[in-house]
Amino acid sequence: MLHRPPRADLRRLATFAAVGVPLQAVIGGISVLTGLNPWIVSTHFLVTLLMVTLARRAGAPVEVHMPPAVRALAAICLITTWLVLVLGTFVTRAGPHAGDPDSGRNGFDEVALSQLHTDAVCVLFGATVALAVVARVTETTRTVRRLSTVVLVTEFAQGAIGFTQYFTGLPWGLVIVHMALAAVLTVEVTILFDHSRQRRSCRLLTAE
């Protein structure tokens, strides 16, 4: 190659995509060959979300200052989101939407897993509320303040859909929306995390 792009992070992310897409083709093929094995199907979905997360980091801003509490809370939100996502796939793989009836289930108790999934959502919601508050009483950016609100709204909508589908026998239409919103939330939380990596002096806001 004659021209090497100066952005090493872009090169790294392009490599992730180049590896990730064929890898997904392989995982998709294995999931079919194993009769939609619940573990393989979950991996297929989670690798997709991981690629979304990694792809977004291409636009990560650099070198501005940000309060440590905002950085910490945004990191907690990202980690907890992934915990919620993984537990969500466990719930699905225990229930009726894990594939054909003879494709097997993961063998866990669906109700207990749903409870655990919801517990993790509560932690995520709490961390996001804390982030939205801290972002407003310390010197952050308008983007971080707005993003924390957007993430909160998405979590609220996703929680409402989650409870509705749980109590109405998992209608497929709602399940699809739940999966789509999970991807949207992944993107939003990743963008929020990226912005929290900016560095900004940590002074309490006296006026704005």
Residues that bind ligand HEM (CB under 6 A): 42, 45, 84-85, 88-89, 91-92, 95, 97, 114, 117-118, 121, 124, 155, 158-159, 162-163, 165-166, 170, 175, 178-179, 182, 185
* Alpha-carbon distances of 142 from 34, 109, 136, 186, rounded to whole Å: 48, 43, 9, 20
**How wide is the angle at C-alpha 98 spanned by C-alphas 92 and 100, nearest 5°?**
160
Shortest separation between residue 48's beta carbon and ligand HEM, angstroms:
10
CA-to-CA distance for 89 and 52, rounded, in angstroms?
17
- Nearer to ligand HEM by Cβ, of 67 and 95: the residue is 95
- Nearer to ligand HEM by Cβ, of 121 and 134: the residue is 121
Shortest separation between residue 86's beta carbon and ligand HEM, angstroms:
8
- Nearer to ligand HEM by Cβ, of 141 and 165: the residue is 165
Shortest separation between residue 120's beta carbon and ligand HEM, angstroms:
8
Instruction: Enter the tokens of residue 94.
Output: 């225990």
CA-to-CA distance for 171 and 79, rounded, in angstroms?
29
- Nearer to ligand HEM by Cβ, of 51 and 185: the residue is 185
Burial 3-24 (b: 16+ CB within 10 A, else e): eeeeeeeeeebeebeeebeeee
Shortest separation between residue 162's beta carbon and ligand HEM, angstroms:
2
CA-to-CA distance for 24 and 46, rounded, in angstroms?
10
Q: Which DSSP letter does residue 63 get?
A: S
- Nearer to ligand HEM by Cβ, of 14 and 46: the residue is 46
Shortest separation between residue 105's beta carbon and ligand HEM, angstroms:
10
